[in-house]
Amino acid sequence: MKKTLSTIVLASALLLGTVAPIAAHADGLSGSTNGSVTFTKPADQTTPVDPNNPDTPSVTPGDNGGTTPSGPLTFLYVTKTLDFGTHETSTTGAQTFTAGTNAATDSKPGSISTTTFSGMTANPNFVTEVSDTRASNAGWEVDMSATNFTDGTHNLTGASLNFNTDQNATVKNSATTDTTGISQPKASAKLGTTTAVPVYTAAKGSGAGTTSFQVDPNNISLSAIPANVTVTGDSTTYSGTLNWTLAALPES
DSSP state string for 37-73 = ----PPPP--S-EETTEEEEE-SSTT--BT----SSE
pLDDT at 110 over 50: yes
pLDDT at 7 over 80: no
Residue 147's pLDDT is: 97
Residue 175's pLDDT is: 84
> Average pLDDT, stretch 93-120?
88
pLDDT tens by residue, 180-237: 888 887 899 999 998 899 999 999 999 999 999 999 999 999 999 999 999 999 999 9
Confidence of residue 3 (pLDDT cuts 50, 70, 90): very low
**10 vs 56, residue with greater confidence:** 56
Query: Comparing 76-90, 97-111, 199-213, 223-237, which segment has the lowest mean pLDDT?
Result: 97-111
Confidence of residue 29 (pLDDT cuts 50, 70, 90): very high
3-state secondary structure 189-208: EECCCCCCEEEEEECCCCCC
**178 vs 89, residue with greater confidence:** 89
Residue 251's pLDDT is: 61
Residue 179's pLDDT is: 85
Query: Comparing 72-86, 165-179, 226-240, which segment has the lowest mean pLDDT?
Result: 165-179
Query: Comparing 51-65, 66-80, 101-115, which segment has the lowest mean pLDDT?
Result: 101-115
Average pLDDT, the chain: 87
Terminal-to-terminal C-alpha distance of the chain: 76
Residue 186's pLDDT is: 85
pLDDT tens by residue, 8-18: 343 444 344 44
Q: What percent of the chain has pLDDT over 90?
A: 74
Residue 234's pLDDT is: 92
Say what the pTM is. Answer: 0.84
| Nearest partner of 66 among 186, 241, 190, 196, judged by Cα | 241
pLDDT tens by residue, 120-140: 999 999 999 999 999 998 999
Residue 4's pLDDT is: 41
Beta strands of the chain (E only): which ranges?
A: 49-50, 53-57, 73-78, 82-83, 95-98, 111-112, 126-132, 140-146, 160-163, 170-173, 182-183, 187-190, 197-202, 209-215, 220-225, 242-248
Torsion angle, CA of 226/232/235/241, rounded to 10 degrees?
Answer: -60
> Average pLDDT, stretch 160-187?
85
